[in-house]
Structure 1
Amino acid sequence: MVTGPLPGSLSALRRDRALADLSGSSVDVVVVGGGVTGTGVALDAAARGLSVVLLERADLASGTSRWSSKLVHGGLRYLAHGEIGLARESARERAVLTGTTAPHLVRPLPFLVPDVAGRSVTALAEAGGRAADLIRRSVPGGRGSLPSTRRVSRAEVSRLVPGVRAGRGGVVFWDGQLVDDARLVIALARTAAAHGAQVLTGATVDAVDGADVHLGLDDGEALTLRAGAVVNAAGVWSQRLAPAIRLVPSRGSHLVVPGSRLGSPTAALTVPLPGSRSRYVFALPQPDGLVYLGLTDEPVSGSVPDDDPVPSDYEVRQLLDTVNQVLTSPLSHSDVVGSYAGLRPLVLPDSAGTGPGDATADLSRKHLLRWDGPVLSVVGGKLTTYRAMAEETVDAVVERLGRGAARSGTARLPLVGAASRASLAGIEAPARLVARYGTEAPVVAGLGLEPMVDGRAETVGELRFAVRHEGARSVADLLDRRTRIGLVPADRARAVPTAERVLAEEP
């Protein structure tokens, strides 16, 4: 349990002090973008002794980083594309997250591929799973971190996902699941703040002119500061600071359905997309009893808007039709209680033509690292490998600046709330809060355990904690990012009055 002041508390008072000191100041690194990549870079740079300011135009995790499948992938899909290096890097970073940096936020999750999807499908899944097992055992911390791939009986299939049609059995492989992608971003930002980084939301970078960084605050104030280097970690919006980058945004969409419609599964149902040997639709069970059904991969043309993307009618049909192939009781549109979509910032290789075509699913998930004057853009990659991307980025910054520790220590640096699984098991607080806040769960529980709304597990204490320590400043911050009740619009609407009351009551 935490005693004393909370490390890296993103309080309103801290923000006011940072703003008072910011105008005209000089720092080593300005990071643009408060997603998983930007907060990872801010942490790595601050932990190496560099002075850091992270600027986010909206809120932490307000872009792509909250719209993922909430998985910590070991790289099984990369194997299908022959990208062994990426698969190994993913497996290594998964082991770091689950073993050191955020054990409280990650849990092992079985993935079921049932025989009713086709015996050739399960044979391929078994071969891929066993190859992934070999890679996992070859990376530090990987051996013993997850169970091995295995065939399961018809009875086991029914136990794991009761809604699947009867068949001969299936294959189970294992991967990692985040309790919430946005909570990982918040933990990274607060850990960076605990190492001295200034984390400012509601701050839009308008221009970089040499060493001068010009920004506007959401209250209309304009400020300028000087930076030794500017890291552009704005994801699909990176071209606003680096127009020469060739991005191919791809939309990934999910549907939210009650878990009861699939028999309250304990494994992720895995069904191949018709006509593909490497793309699957997953029905991912969540701790709150919901299931997230995804994932699509649709090219997006034109400029990237600031507003959140939404799934198309085609994507909704595709997801439902694919998973319905193996269900006893098919899902319909009326079963969908929510949906969400995010944009992947895929990088178009220099060798490609002038247009992306429609094959975003086949583009590599490798990231790009490139200097344009004082701006270093880091774009692409995957949530799982954020730490490795950040390490490589800060290596380049340290080399450019000639100061800061030469080597990253973030692979051995626990995030706020992290502890060993044995320690987490002994924390006296509701298990749901421990899974989201780790060692800080008793503090959250002490702020109030009454539910925000009837029938949901989210508490008023979580809202108060978000305002006091996690930089939440609006209803959207509270309901759509610090908690995820916003994924079900009907529940969000019921929670708005409570969120408004907490914002009014908190200083």
Structure 2
Amino acid sequence: MMTATLPGTLSPERRARALAGLPGASVDVVVVGGGVTGAGVALDAVSRGLSVVLLERADLAAGTSRWSSKLVHGGLRYLAHGEIGLARESARERAVLMGSTAPHLVRQLPFLVPDAAGRDVTALAEAGGRAADVIRFSVPGGRGSLPSTRRATSDEVSRLVPGVRPGRGGVVFWDGQLVDDARLVVALARTAASYGATVLTGATVTAVDGNDVHVQVDGEAARLRAGVVINAAGVWAQQLAPGIRLVPSRGSHLVVPGSVLGSPSAALTVPLPGSRSRYVFALPQPDGLVYLGLTDEPVEEPVRDDDPVPSDPEVAQLLETVNQVLAVPVTRDDVVGAFAGLRPLVLPESAGTGPGDATADLSRKHLLHWDGPVLSVVGGKLTTYRAMAEETVDAVVGRLGRGSARSLTVRLPLVGAAPRPALVRVNAASRLVARYGTEAPVVEALGSAAVVAGRLETVGELRFGVRHEGARTVADLLDRRTRFGLVPADRERAVPVAEQVLTEEL
């Protein structure tokens, strides 16, 4: 099988070489966890000259990182809580993603807050949007990255979200939207691999004993040595660092056809009853679906390995909230899929032990915590992964006494990235360019036939996932390299094609 040479290719052959070289290896940094945080840390570390092995027990983006709202947002909610520093960091990192590191994966998205939700609501949204604009103007690259907040006429409201009750205006503000959060993680991991990092999925870290890291991979035990172990396991971080205090929160989304909202081009934004800072969004996707989210439910039970699911009260809350402003309500019969993720919210050491204290002290800020040679990085959010990684590797460089003291990732493009004028000139379908950037022609050449009728994904995307992106199973292909899994009925139809591709490519 002839395979095109691409930067950071995670091919089956490369995985075989990584497995052969793993036992007894000695590296500067072992990263545990292949989500956005772990992949971001691996890239920052290897680009500073450190030797890096990233170990992920399942697959890239197999955990929380694929269950986000797919937004690169500027932290409007943080402004409502007076957290100006967090909002500014979010705006800065959004500008980095949109302008330097991944312009192919991020697009501008208008958010509509309709007057149908109440003029007091839109007045508050307009004030918050204009405050966010001021913060955006203050960060490098922010001024030209998005349009400014403004009022919208009733005609414009009907054009942006036809499903909203007609006759009233609203407020429009802008933010960033990822074409796919899992694709960002894969791009980070491949970029790290292009700089020399070893990226190994299906590798479970069973213990860290001093500088020895014990791994179980493909049924075999292995041991390697690391100067530092980065624990980037998210809601599972306590397995390596029991002293960390986490209070996971479940965020749930429903998947509906865009047609039930009139095929919107803007994100409908409706406040939760009684809240001035929490909203339900109806987020239009490039494939014609709409995601309704987001809930924020504390998780009391122990975190399990299987995927979380929305509860019935969450489903009801999402539908009831968005239906407040719709001419024709969305019903449970309209729902074609649902997904949920667990946020690893950090409980600071200063917090009390009672439930009231815990709720008051929950934070979206991230935590760095040393435990011997293990440095845990947990919390934060997808938008600020790069800043989290930079701070983490700063600490690693200080501990090891080697590696560049300065991060390079603020201007380091991910695989497939290019300036927007160059992306427009890429000779491939625009949908593929939005997902693969400059590599889209390679994907297109691998096969343009649809995987299943009525969906846009191609067989070439599945082949590319195996040859270049480390996909090894049907779930890897259908739930992460593509997102068939968000609509179970479509996933079922795609399984035979995915199995055939795996048979031919592995």
Q: How far apart are the structure 2 equivalents of 1:297 and 1:107? A: 25
Residue pair 1:445, 1:461 contacting (<8 A) in 2 also: yes
**How far off is 1:148 after superposition?**
0.3
Letter in 2 for 1:239: Q
> Aligned partner of 2:475: which letter?
A
Counterparts of 1:27 and 1:337, CA distance in 2: 46
SS at match of 2:318: helix
Aligned-partner Cα distance in 1 for 2:93–2:226: 30
| 1:334 counterpart = 2:333 | yes
Query: Which residue identity does 1:68 align to in structure 2?
Result: S
Q: State the partner residue of 1:64.
A: 64
CA distance in 2, matches of 1:264, 1:362: 40
- CA change 1:121–1:31 in 2 (3 A) is same
Q: Which residue of 1 aligns with 2:9?
A: 9
Task: Give the match's secondary structure for 2:368.
Answer: strand
Show the counterpart of 2:488.
Answer: 489
Instruction: Summarize the Cα distance change of 1:202–1:348 in structure 2 as closer, same or farther, 3 Å threshold.
Output: same
C-alpha separation in 2, matches of 1:145 and 1:304: 38
* Equivalent runs, 1:51-200 vs 2, <5 Å: 51-200=51-200
Structure 1 gaps of 5+ residues are: none
* Preserved CA contact (<8 Å) 1:248 1:356: no
The question of whether the paired residues in 2 share the 8 Å contact of 1:236 and 1:344 is answered with yes
Partner Cα separation in structure 2 for residue 445 and residue 455 of structure 1? 18
Q: Is residue 344–residue 380 contact of structure 1 (8 Å, CA) maintained in 2?
A: yes
Q: Counterpart in 1 of 2:497?
A: 498
| Amino acid across the alignment from 1:313 | D
Distance 2:57 2:359 in 1: 27
Structure 1 position 351, deviation (Å): 2.2
> Which residue number corresponds to residue 287 of structure 2?
288
Tell me how far 1:356 sits from its aligned partner.
4.3
How far apart are 1:358 and its partner, in Å? 9.9
Letter in 2 for 1:191: T
Alpha-carbon contact 1:299-1:360 (below 8 Å) kept: no
Q: What residue number does 2:231 align with?
A: 232
- RMSD over aligned Cα, in angstroms? 1.2
Are the counterparts in 1 of residues 351 and 361 from structure 2 also a CA contact under 8 Å? no
Alignment match, 2:425: 426
Please, what TM-score do these two structures have when normalized by structure 2? 0.98
Report the alpha carbon displacement of residue 171 of structure 1 after superposing the two structures with TM: 0.1
- Evaluate the alpha carbon distance shift between residue 358 and residue 213 of structure 1 in structure 2; reply closer, same or farther with a 3 A threshold: same
Matches within 5 A, 1:337-356: 337-356=336-355
Structure 1 residues 452-492: Cα deviation after superposition (integer angstroms, max 9, x where no partner): 00000000000000000000000000000000011000000
Q: Using the alignment, how far apart are the partners of 1:346 and 1:455 within structure 2?
A: 39
Give yes or no for the alignment of 1:18 onto 2:14: no
State the TM-score, normalized to the length of structure 1: 0.98
Question: Any residues of structure 2 matched to 1:242-321 within 5 Å, and which?
Answer: 242-321=241-320
Distance 2:326 2:357 in 1: 30
Shift of 1:352: 1.8
Hey, what's the Cα distance between the residues in 1 that align with 2:328 and 2:361?
A: 32
SS at match of 1:422: helix
1:398: which partner in 2? 397
Q: Is the 8 A contact 2:295 2:314 kept in 1?
A: yes
State whether residues 260 and 330 of structure 2, in contact with CA within 8 Å, keep that contact through their aligned partners in structure 1. Answer: yes
1:20 aligned partner, one-letter code: A
| Deviation by residue 1:277-321 (Cα, 9 ceiling, x = unmatched) | 000000000000000000000000131100000000000000000
Question: Counterpart in 1 of 2:455?
Answer: 456
Residue type at the aligned position of 1:111? F
Distance in 1, matches of 2:355 and 2:219, equals 38
Offset at 1:166?
1.6
Q: How far, CA to CA, are the matches of 1:428 and 1:410 in structure 2?
A: 28
CA distance in 1, matches of 2:356, 2:482: 37
Report the Cα distance in structure 2 between the residues aligned to 1:436 and 1:473, rounded to whole angstroms: 20
Corresponding letter in the other structure for 2:374: V
- Figure out how many residues of one structure are paired with residues of the other and give that number: 504
Change in Cα spacing, 1:187 to 1:244, as seen in structure 2 (3 Å) is same
Aligned AA (1:224) = R
- Amino acid across the alignment from 1:500: E
Conservation of the 8 A alpha-carbon contact between 2:348 and 2:361: no
